[in-house]
C-alpha cells in the first residue's frame, strides 16, 4: 500500500513452494514478505533494483535446474539493496591483523586423522547460538568474534549463552584502523578477542544490539578470554584440524557480488571476487553429492542462504589468488599493499579462534 510519504508493507507470509522457481514473484509480494517500507522518492530505485535481482535469480536458477550450477539464488531481503548498503553489511576490509601479537596454531592432521565431517551446529549437542542479523551496521567483525567466544565457552563449559556484539561495536577502540575505523565502520575479529582479554564481553540480554555507534556504557562482563590463536594463512588442513579439534573459527571472506547477496542454497562455486571484505564464522565442513564444502555462518539473518549459512566449495582450497586492496576502506596502518588468498571466496585467508575462556563472574578459567 502506497501512502503519501512512504510505502507501507504488512507481512503476509509470502513464500515460494519451490526454492528456485520465481516465475510468478512480484515486487508487491516482495514488499509484503519482507515488511519493506520506502520513502516515496526512493520507490522507483528500489523497484528497479528488485527487477534487476529478479532477472539475475531467474537466469541463474534456470541454469541450476539444467545442472549448470551447484547452488541456487534466492529473492531474499537484500534483493533491493544498493551496492553502498551491501558494502556497509560487509564492513571488514582486511585479510589479517598484521600489527597484533598472537600465537600461531600449526596443528596438522593427516587425512585419515581428520573426521569425514564436522558440524558444530549439532556436534556435541550443538555449540553455536541462533543466527543473528547485523542490520545496516558494518559490524560483521563483532558478530564473528562474539560467535567464536560463545562457541569456545560452550565447548569448555557445556553452557551455550548468547553474548553481546554491541559490546565491541560501542566500546572497542581501533586506533590502528584494522579493517576500518571501528564500530559500524569495520574492524577485525581479532580485536574483539584482544578486547575480551582485558574488558570481557557482556551477555546479550545485558547489552542489547542496536546496530549503531552508540557510546560505550558501563556493563558487567559475562565472559573473558585469555587471548587468541591464528591459523597459518591459506592452509586448508589447518582450518579443518582446528574445526575438528578446537571448535568454530572466525574467518574472513570476499563476499562482494551478486553471489553472496542473493545466495539461496547449495555449494557455492565460481566466486570471482578477491577483495577480502567480510568477517564470518566457520562451523564445520562436509561433503554431499560429490562436493566437499566449508560450512560458514553469516550475520545477515536466518532468512538469508541456508537458514543463515552458506556452504563454500572446497575444490578451490589450493588455488591462490591476490587481494590487491587489502587495506581498502581501512586496515592496520603499515600493512602490505597486497596479500595472497586461497580457497573459494578467499575462505582460507585469515582464520583465528579465542583461547583461555574465563567465566568473568567467577573468574574461573574453564
Look up residue 114 and give its three cell numbers: 581428520
Cα 180 to the chain's mean position, in Å? 16
Look up residue 276 and give its three cell numbers: 577480502
Catalytic pick from 76, 298, 313, 325? 298
Compute CA distances 308 → 92, 334, 344, whole Å: 19, 35, 18
123 as an active site residue: the answer is no
- Give the containing element (helix H, strand E) for 228: strand 227-230
Cα 198 to the chain's mean position, in Å? 25
140 as an active site residue: the answer is yes
Dihedral over Cα of 312, 318, 323, 324: its sign: negative
Provide the pairing of β-strand 358-359 with 263-268: unpaired
Catalytic pick from 74, 92, 140, 174? 140
Nearest CA-CA partner of 213 in 142, 276, 145: 142
- Give the containing element (helix H, strand E) for 171: helix 165-171
Q: Are 207 and 217 in contact (CB under 8 A)?
A: yes
* Interacting residues of 48 by C-beta distance below 8 A, sequence separation 6+: none
Look up residue 163 and give its three cell numbers: 553474548
Catalytic pick from 34, 137, 278, 332? 278
Give the span between the Cα atoms of 12 and 274, in whole angstroms: 39
Strands (E), the chain: 6-7, 38-39, 71-73, 103-104, 118-119, 223-224, 227-230, 249-253, 263-268, 278-288, 291-297, 309-313, 320-323, 339-342, 351-355, 358-359, 364-365
Compute CA distances 203 → 60, 86, 206, 296, 350, whole Å: 41, 28, 5, 23, 27
298 as an active site residue: the answer is yes
- Give the containing element (helix H, strand E) for 32: helix 27-33
Catalytic center residues: 140, 278, 298
Amino acid at each position: 500500500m502506497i501512502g503519501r510519504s512512504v510505502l507501507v508493507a504488512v507481512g503476509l507470509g509470502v513464500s515460494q513452494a519451490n526454492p528456485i522457481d520465481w516465475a510468478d514473484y512480484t515486487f508487491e509480494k516482495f514488499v509484503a514478505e519482507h515488511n519493506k517500507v520506502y520513502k516515496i522518492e526512493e520507490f522507483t530505485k528500489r523497484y528497479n533494483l528488485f527487477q534487476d535481482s529478479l532477472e539475475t535469480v531467474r537466469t541463474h536458477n534456470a541454469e541450476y535446474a539444467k545442472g549448470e550450477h551447484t547452488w541456487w539464488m534466492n529473492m531474499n531481503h537484500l534483493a533491493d539493496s544498493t551496492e553502498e548498503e551491501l558494502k556497509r553489511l560487509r564492513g571488514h576490509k582486511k585479510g589479517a591483523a598484521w600489527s597484533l601479537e598472537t600465537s600461531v596454531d600449526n596443528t596438522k592432521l593427516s587425512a585419515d586423522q581428520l573426521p569425514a565431517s564436522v558440524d558444530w551446529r549439532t556436534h556435541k549437542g550443538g555449540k553455536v547460538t541462533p543466527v543473528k542479523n547485523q542490520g545496516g551496521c558494518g559490524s560483521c567483525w563483532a558478530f564473528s568474534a562474539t560467535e567464536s567466544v560463545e562457541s569456545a565457552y560452550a565447548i569448555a563449559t557445556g553452557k551455550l549463552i548468547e553474548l553481546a556484539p554491541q559490546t565491541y561495536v560501542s566500546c572497542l577502540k581501533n586506533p590502528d584502523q584494522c579493517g576500518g575505523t571501528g564500530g559500524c565502520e569495520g574492524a577485525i575479529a581479532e580485536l574483539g578477542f584482544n578486547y575480551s582479554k582485558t574488558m570481557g564481553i557482556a551477555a546479550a540480554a545485558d547489552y542489547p544490539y542496536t546496530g549503531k555507534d552508540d557510546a560505550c556504557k558501563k556493563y558487567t562482563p559475562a565472559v573473558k578470554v585469555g587471548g587468541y590463536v591464528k591459523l597459518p594463512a591459506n592452509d586448508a588442513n589447518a582450518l579443518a584440524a582446528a574445526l575438528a579439534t578446537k571448535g568454530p573459527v572466525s574467518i574472513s571472506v570476499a563476499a562482494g557480488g551478486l553471489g553472496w547477496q542473493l545466495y539461496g542454497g547449495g555449494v557455492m562455486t565460481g566466486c570471482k571476487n578477491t577483495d577480502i571484505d567480510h568477517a564470518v564464522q566457520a562451523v564445520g565442513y562436509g561433503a554431499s553429492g560429490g562436493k566437499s564444502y566449508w560450512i560458514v555462518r553469516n550475520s545477515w539473518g536466518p532468512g538469508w542462504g541456508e537458514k543463515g549459512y552458506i556452504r563454500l566449495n572446497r575444490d578451490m582450497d589450493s588455488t591462490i589468488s591476490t587481494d590487491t586492496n587489502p587495506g581498502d576502506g581501512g586496515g592496520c596502518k603499515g600493512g602490505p599493499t597486497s596479500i595472497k588468498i586461497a580457497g573459494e571466496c578467499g575462505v582460507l585467508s585469515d582464520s583465528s579462534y579465542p583461547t583461555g575462556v574465563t567465566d568473568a563472574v567467577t573468574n574461573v578459567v574453564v
